[in-house]
Amino acid sequence: MTQIHRSSRGGRIDRSRELSFTFNGKRYTGYAGDTLASALLANGVDIVNRSFKYSRPRGIVAAGPEEPNAVVQLGASEAAQVPNVRATQQALYEGLVARSTNGWPNVQRDMMGMIGKLGGSFMPPGFYYKTFMAPASMWMTYEKYIRKSAGLGRSPLESDPDIYDHLNQHCDVLVIGGGAAGLAAARIAADSGARVMLCDEQEELGGSLLDSREALDGLPAPEWVSQVVTELSARENVELLPRTTANGYHDHNFVTLHERRTEHLWDTAPAVNRRPQARSRLHRVRARHVILATGTHERPLVYGNNDVPGNMVAGAVSTYIRRFGVVPGHKLVLSVSNDYAYRTALDWHESGREVVAIVDARATSRGELAEQARALGIRIINQSAVIEAKGSDRVTAARIARIDLDAFCVLGHEKTLSCDTIASSGGYSPVIHLSSHTGTRPVWRDDVLGFVPGDVKGMTSVGGVHGVFALKAVLEHAAEGARRALDAIGFESDSSAPKLPDVAERREEPACALFQVPHVKSAMRAPKQFVDLQNDVTAAGIELATREGFESIEHVKRYTALGFGTDQGKLGNINGMAVAARCLKRSIPEVGTTVFRPNYTPVTFGAIVGRHCRDLFDPERYTALHAWHVEHGAEFEDVGQWKRPWYFPRTVNGKKETMHEAVSRESLAVREKVGILDASTLGKIDIQGPDAREFLGRVYTNKWAKLAPGRVRYGLMCKDDGMLMDDGTTSCLAENHFLMTTTTGGAAGVMEWLELWHQTEWPELEVYFTSVTDHWATMTVTGPEARKLMSEVTDIDLSPDQFKFMDWREGNVAGIPARVFRISFTGELAYEINVQANYAMPVWKTLFEKGEKYGLTPYGTETMHVLRAEKGLIIAGQDTDGSVTPEDLGMQWAVGYDKPFAWIGKRALTRPDTARTDRKQFVGLKPRDPEVVLEEGAQIVFDPEQSIPMTMVGHVTSSYYSPNLGHGFALAVIKGGRDRLGQTVYLPMKDGVVHEAEIVSPVFIDPKGERQNV
């Protein structure tokens, strides 16, 4: 197929480099410098998509990020699929493959189109709410149907082969937008010595200057641009970022820039010197000042059938002609409300194609561009507008009429002009999206006929985005804005040398306020007048919404879907508000403004994630003994960021043990011989200072005044609401020196908790906290044979009267200086050996050398859980949940009611709610059926016969099978449980089975604690 709409010369494309590409399975050619959109237009491809709701054929209407229709699915291979790419922003490369995202089986012959035509009137705004309300169970079915017919692309099914980078950047001035205003401001900022970043979303810098008819310093605008860009790129204090979209403007001048580095080359990032390169970079910029120079989006007019391919925004037509050498039709009708849009007729005429007429809604047009058009013999029809387009797959004619703007009616003088393109311009909407991200409300200006950014601290808006449109004024405004910005952050601008180029002043007449064009029929009966092309929102739909009582634009928006989706109302928002305002007989600012949220354009997940995926998704923490565990086939469990051995399955007769088998073997070994656990992950906090003991007394519920050096005590830590927060042992190392242990997961939280109370409540106490979790490796040797094994490796006196339960001693273990603690989390005789972490491995290996004859068995966290649960020892965070007091746990023995200071949590224990006797209390459960292992979290009831919803009286907190007991057992909290020992409770399960269990003491083994005390 030939490029039928390509002009013979002109444009910023390289005609010597022909590129071939595929769209919807058909091959086409374009040139280097094309966007996918300009290449499609050059090839005369009118229909690029089907519309969202009505499935009407749609063509390209714009040339930038505001394009609502040409949203494509990109990528030649499955892994490289990218949805939601706007063809207007995608540079063409050799071999590009793209598809329409909507339309089934294809855009030319669309099944849904039939339904759309028939069903259109049955799909009013609020359609989903009204139609799919009931029955709720059917929603899943409806959703499937809606999604199939309405998607905007799909995600890839294969893993992304590319890498993405995040860069943290700081600068003095961040200029967003590289058009006339941005370049002028960047130049002045660069001269001051400030560190400047300039980003622009297009393939090259220059913005609207790239298709401007105007001259700067006597040079065609694009040439002036390349001069300035050359000049700026030579400066060391300037970083230029083309192909970079500022997508989010967050708190305190934090702006995220998405730089596409390879997306103009191929659908995956090509390697450089055989090394992968980042497909894109996300710059996380903290700017001292932001200069917003994002310009404007031209507004199309809203008239009947304004969605038929061939209807375009006027400025986009000029862009395609001047930048890409593409004239997207043969006969043009131009419908305008302002002077500047006349340039499109001049550009079209100069390309040698016919301008049928310019239809101007104003009574007169005497501006400079209008006079030029008149001089070329172009027919100008005043006080009129295109009221309707004719044609189905492409415009065939424009129906024009004289209109009365104030009365919003057609005055007659109807004509039908034959044409294939209708370009329209209803004015220019400042691109205020970024300033809105900050939460600042934009301000309506009647002279601009648009919203401009409200005040944002640390931001200056210049040029088009501030409602300054004429080139000379834009440059002056940008220069002035840049100087103010520099002044605000303490840089001096060189005011003596204003480097502004000479630009001719242009005589213009004011624009008129035209948004929706009246039709001879009412909006409800006229051909569809589209406001939001991407979401198929029509003027009639908005009218209906206002009649149904939606008064705020925020409600209208949600009801009609105006401004939804990837488009975010770039073209349609103001027109939609204008329609709502007219219907409600208010002004546009009175109906409000919609808030734009990040991101400005869609960003791929890869760019957001950066390198934080796969192995780098979250840090993994390993103990000093990790390599040994891996070598010995441990299965691992995640505890916080730690990898802990879960169990150590053995292979017996070529068969690997199941977890159940391994845990049975491990726990029997501990109860009958000796086991060893890597407990290095326990949180450890070193506490020193003359007031350390006093401090412990305040943060723990129990007493610390008399704990002597060499002794260890178990402590409970509550919040001030009296609820258990964490537990652990604390050892007195010396009079003013303690070592606190915490749960593995609670370590960081407890550390911050201690600092919080010390720094904010009791700064007068002299006490210091240091986290030493990683400094010490902890090995728990436990079981009846533990003493025999220890005696072979240590010089510490292990005799029971010298080294008692809850003592700790210093000495050598396997020749390494160690602290050994006689504490037990299994109920057996136990020694916790602490050595400096980097010496842990030789100690561990020596223990196994000597321990073989005693049957030393490594065990993991699962066995640890079973063993501690058999003893009724709690795990804070598993058996407690922030609503359990020490008294609920039956741990009054660990509460110092008579301590002199009102320690944390004490006062709350006497609150009426915490003193209730029917609170949920910690008990054991013994299932009637010994084979049953109850489900953790299962709800408990007293009466299984009651009707649903049943009265739930508690739940299972921990549950295991005990090889030592020979049956399943559980820990639970039950209302008034301690007074109900021996009673039967019931656990109704989801599958209808009701388990029966007896309430028993939570201590299942060795209730007197004799085994750990030997």
The DSSP result for 405-443, as a single string, is TTTTEEEEEEEEEE-SEEEEE--EEE--HHHHHTTPPPE
User: Strands 163-176 and 196-199: what pairing?
Assistant: parallel
CA distance linking residue 360 with residue 370, whole number of Å: 10
CB of 865 to other proteins, least distance (A): 30
Query: Which of 235, 264, 330, 441 touches other proteins (CB under 8 A)?
Result: 441
Answer yes or no whether residue 746 interacts with other proteins by CB under 8 A: no
Q: How many CB atoms lie within 10 A of CB 459?
A: 23
CB of 585 to other proteins, least distance (A): 12
> What's the CA dihedral at 674, 676, 677, 680 to 10 degrees?
130
CB of 911 to other proteins, least distance (A): 6
The three-point CA angle 106-541-333 to 5° equals 65
The three-point CA angle 248-250-255 to 5° equals 55
Residue 265: both structure tokens together: 């080359």
The three-point CA angle 38-44-45 to 5° equals 80
Answer yes or no whether residue 166 interacts with other proteins by CB under 8 A: no
Answer yes or no whether residue 250 interacts with other proteins by CB under 8 A: yes
Nearer to other proteins, 429 or 958 (CB): 429
Question: The tokens 């002279």 sit on which residue?
Answer: 447
Answer yes or no whether residue 14 interacts with other proteins by CB under 8 A: no
Query: Which of 147, 252, 274, 990 touches other proteins (CB under 8 A)?
Result: 252
Residues in the chain: 1014
CB of 761 to other proteins, least distance (A): 6
Cβ atoms of 861 and 639 closer than 8 Å: yes
Answer yes or no whether residue 590 interacts with other proteins by CB under 8 A: yes
Answer yes or no whether residue 457 interacts with other proteins by CB under 8 A: yes
Q: Interface mask (CB under 8 A) for other proteins, residues 203-242, using x and -?
A: ----------------------------------------
> What's the CA dihedral at 59, 65, 66, 67 to 10 degrees?
10
Residue 688: alpha-carbon gap to chain centroid: 43
CB of 591 to other proteins, least distance (A): 6
Nearer to other proteins, 446 or 761 (CB): 761
CB of 719 to other proteins, least distance (A): 9
Q: Which stretch binds other proteins (CB under 8 A): 60-68, 464-472, 650-658, 903-911?
A: 903-911
Query: Which of 443, 470, 512, 668 touches other proteins (CB under 8 A)?
Result: 443
Query: Which of 23, 52, 224, 444 touches other proteins (CB under 8 A)?
Result: 444
User: Strands 421-425 and 331-336: what pairing?
Assistant: parallel
Q: Which stretch binds other proteins (CB under 8 A): 588-596, 628-636, 838-846, 942-950?
A: 588-596
Q: Which residues contact 527 (CB under 8 A, 6 or more apart)?
A: 304, 305, 388, 519
Give SS3 for 560.
Answer: helix
AA identity, residue 795: D
CB of 254 to other proteins, least distance (A): 5
Nearer to other proteins, 906 or 1011 (CB): 906
CA distance linking residue 619 with residue 848, whole number of Å: 30
Residue 588: both structure tokens together: 């546009």
CB of 586 to other proteins, least distance (A): 8
CB of 561 to other proteins, least distance (A): 21
Q: Interface mask (CB under 8 A) for other proteins, residues 268-307, using x and -?
A: ------------------x---------------------
Query: Which of 236, 251, 615, 618 touches other proteins (CB under 8 A)?
Result: 251
CB of 902 to other proteins, least distance (A): 4
Give SS3 for 945.
Answer: coil
The three-point CA angle 443-444-449 to 5° equals 145
- Dmax (CA) of the chain: 116
Give SS3 for 395.
Answer: coil
CB of 437 to other proteins, least distance (A): 12
CB of 438 to other proteins, least distance (A): 8
- Identify residues 114-133 at the interface with other proteins (CB under 8 A): none
CB of 441 to other proteins, least distance (A): 5
- Helix (H) or strand (E) holding 666, with range, is helix 659-672
Q: Interface mask (CB under 8 A) for other proteins, residues 912-941, using x and -?
A: x-----------------------------
Nearer to other proteins, 21 or 769 (CB): 769
- Identify residues 753-782 at the interface with other proteins (CB under 8 A): 755-756, 759-761, 763
CB of 251 to other proteins, least distance (A): 5
Query: Which of 119, 126, 151, 589 touches other proteins (CB under 8 A)?
Result: 589
Answer yes or no whether residue 908 interacts with other proteins by CB under 8 A: yes
Cβ atoms of 701 and 894 closer than 8 Å: yes
Nearer to other proteins, 93 or 444 (CB): 444
CA distance linking residue 676 with residue 854, whole number of Å: 12
Query: Which of 295, 442, 563, 954 touches other proteins (CB under 8 A)?
Result: 442
The DSSP result for 312-363, as a single string, is EEHHHHHHHHHHH-B---SEEEEEESSSTTHHHHHHHHHTT-EEEEEEESSS
The DSSP result for 27-90, as a single string, is EEEEEET-BHHHHHHHTT----EE-TTT--EE----SSTT-SS-EEEE-SSGGG-EEEEEGGG-
Q: Is the peptide bond before 105 cis (omega within 30 degrees of 0)?
A: yes
Answer yes or no whether residue 16 interacts with other proteins by CB under 8 A: no
What one-character DSSP code corresponds to residue 543? H
Nearer to other proteins, 455 or 996 (CB): 455
AA identity, residue 436: S
**Number of residues lying near other proteins (CB under 8 A):** 36
Give SS3 for 556.
Answer: helix
Q: Which stretch binds other proteins (CB under 8 A): 15-23, 232-240, 322-330, 899-907?
A: 899-907
Answer yes or no whether residue 467 interacts with other proteins by CB under 8 A: no
- Identify residues 401-440 at the interface with other proteins (CB under 8 A): 438-440
CB of 164 to other proteins, least distance (A): 19
Q: Which stretch binds other proteins (CB under 8 A): 36-44, 367-375, 512-520, 589-597?
A: 589-597
Cβ atoms of 667 and 963 closer than 8 Å: yes
Query: Which of 195, 394, 906, 1011 touches other proteins (CB under 8 A)?
Result: 906
CA distance linking residue 289 with residue 461, whole number of Å: 11
Answer yes or no whether residue 542 interacts with other proteins by CB under 8 A: no
Query: Which of 129, 142, 145, 254 touches other proteins (CB under 8 A)?
Result: 254
Cβ atoms of 578 and 516 closer than 8 Å: yes
CB of 885 to other proteins, least distance (A): 14
CA distance linking residue 742 with residue 639, whole number of Å: 13
Query: Which of 124, 193, 242, 454 touches other proteins (CB under 8 A)?
Result: 454
Residue 243: alpha-carbon gap to chain centroid: 22
Give the chain's radius of gyration (CA, Å).
38
Q: Which stretch binds other proteins (CB under 8 A): 88-96, 359-367, 583-591, 923-931?
A: 583-591
Query: Which of 214, 720, 887, 998 touches other proteins (CB under 8 A)?
Result: 720
Query: Which of 154, 911, 916, 928 touches other proteins (CB under 8 A)?
Result: 911
Closest CA to 633 of 615, 614, 657, 654: 657
- Residues near other proteins, by CB under 8 A: 250-254, 286, 438-444, 454, 457, 553, 589-593, 720-721, 752, 755-756, 759-761, 763, 902, 906-908, 911-912
